[in-house]
Amino acid sequence: MSCNPRDTQSVRIAVVAGEASGDRLAADLVSAVQKKSGRLSFFGMGGPAMRAAGVHIEQDYAGLSVVGILEALWHYRTLRAVLERMKRLLADERPDLLILVDYAEFNLRLADYAKSLGLKVLFYVSPQLWAWRPSRIHRMVGRIDGMAVLFPFEVSYYQAVGIPVRFVGNPLVDDVRASGPTAQLRESFGLAKGTPILGLFPGSRESEWRRHMPTLVRLAEQMLAEGVQPVVSIASGLDIDEKEQARRHPGIRWVKGRSVDLMASCDALVVASGTATLEAGLLKIPMVVIYRLSWLSYGLLRMFVHVKDIALVNIVAGRRIIQELIQSSFTLHNLREETQRLLFDQAYRRSMVQALSEVRNSLGEGGASDRLADWVLELIQPPRGPYE
């Protein structure tokens, strides 16, 4: 004897992402779930990718993505107000499942509240416990029903404290694919033929743009004078007009959106630390990683960070395969020296491409969103009784 299956038309899933990378991950997951069971509905906090995937956006994440302790304190009142709004939304809507995507500090607080309401919680993308503040894991015990991790070495952290965990793989393996051959992509961006192309990716946050772009513009101007075509990626979530930038900095190309295709068009990259470094690694484009915080934020973070390297490709490789120019080492001199090696030292380029190929192979064959979608459907099923 079995009961009637649950009417999935009544199933509502809340999804919360607070920055561009999480927005894309959430959108891919929602699309995968809908392919398996199209009668579910989604709502929550996110951006353009989630909206395009069919999620009803109750709160846009624009302006909420910050890095650094001081930066978080500066935006505390805004972040707190949004957190309270999301709590009220969960209390009013009582979704069948809450999916929290990255954005750890905000989402861990939301997980606490969701559990007080008796909601099921799935956390997607582990906080970087292996890098800093490993004690955060104890806040998750009893507060989440599943932790979906992107890297196999993360599984043991959660198994040790009894948190249900699955290595689903990294969705970027599926997502990071250029839409065409290099020559075709370069033509679509108006990039010169037969000219070395240097891509500059300052980051998806406003604070990253402010801290990185003055140095990157000076680098671009110098490389332009040496016959290199610099092209700057403007994250789609930033309120920056590429035409205005082109008017102010003639000769430098500015492109908004299409970041993966733009990466694939380049011979070498300067990339702000974050998800973009792994995207570039999957494309096997030689790169240098940069990052700059306020000095106080950086000093405070160094007290807690437990890893030598911060670039994801270096962490996955287990060794430094690309250079990191962080804080005081992020200078025009160091940057120019490294980009010249990336563009013109063929042996150096080949060695880096080989190392990036090994990183790509270690991340598996893809299918992360599909595997996670299966887990989502498991979590929204009602418990089975003894006679079913």
Q: What is the Cα–Cα distance from 22 to 115, expressed in whole angstroms?
A: 22
Superfamily the domain 8-171+366-379 falls into: Glycogen Phosphorylase B; (3.40.50.2000)
Topology agreement, domain 8-171+366-379 and domain 177-362? yes
- Give the model's pLDDT for residue 384: 52
Domain ranges of the chain: 8-171+366-379, 177-362
User: What DSSP designation does 345 have?
Assistant: -
User: Helix, strand, coil % (nearest 5) of the chain?
Assistant: 50, 15, 35
Q: Where are the alpha helices (DSSP H) in the chain?
A: 20-36, 48-52, 69-74, 76-93, 104-116, 137-140, 155-159, 172-175, 182-189, 206-225, 242-248, 259-264, 275-283, 295-302, 312-317, 332-344, 346-362, 368-379
Burial of 279 per CB tally in 10 Å (0-12, 13-18, 19+): buried
Q: What is the Cα–Cα distance from 107 to 334, expressed in whole angstroms?
A: 37
Q: 291 phi and psi, to 5 degrees?
A: -170, 145
The DSSP bridge partners found for residue 326 are 291
Q: What is the Cα–Cα distance from 307 to 291, expressed in whole angstroms?
A: 15
Instruction: Output the pTM of the full model.
Output: 0.72
Q: Which amino acid is at 62?
A: A
Q: Which residues of the chain have pLDDT under 50?
A: 1-8, 68-70, 385-388
Q: Among 131, 135, 184, 141, which residue's Cα sits nearest to residue 162?
A: 141
Render pLDDT for 214-258 as a digit per residue (tens, 0 to 9).
999 999 999 999 999 999 999 987 889 999 999 999 999 999 999
Q: Which fold has domain 177-362?
A: Rossmann fold (3.40.50)
DSSP 358-383: HHHHHT-S--HHHHHHHHHHHHTSPP
What angle (nearest 5°) sits at the alpha carbon of residue 377, between those of residues 374 and 379? 110
Residue 261, number of CB atoms within 10 A of its CB: 20
Q: Among 215, 234, 208, which residue's Cα sits nearest to residue 71?
A: 208
- Give the model's pLDDT for residue 132: 67
**Pair 388, 3: CB distance under 8 Å:** yes
Q: Which residues are CB-neighbours of 333 under 8 A, at least 6 positions away?
A: none
- Give the model's pLDDT for residue 297: 67
Q: Among 253, 254, 314, which residue's Cα sits nearest to residue 280?
A: 314
Helices 346-362 & 275-283 angle (0-180, nearest 10): 110
Q: Which amino acid is at 314?
A: N
Between the two ends of the chain, the Cα-to-Cα distance in Å is 6
- Give the model's pLDDT for residue 139: 85
Q: Which residues are CB-neighbours of 161 under 8 A, at least 6 positions away?
A: 137, 138, 140, 141
What angle (nearest 5°) sits at the alpha carbon of residue 96, between those of residues 92 and 101? 90
Render pLDDT for 360-380 as a digit per residue (tens, 0 to 9).
988 878 899 999 999 999 999
Q: Across the chain, which distance is largest between two alpha carbons, in Å?
A: 78
Helix (H, G, I), strand (E, B) or coil at 90: helix
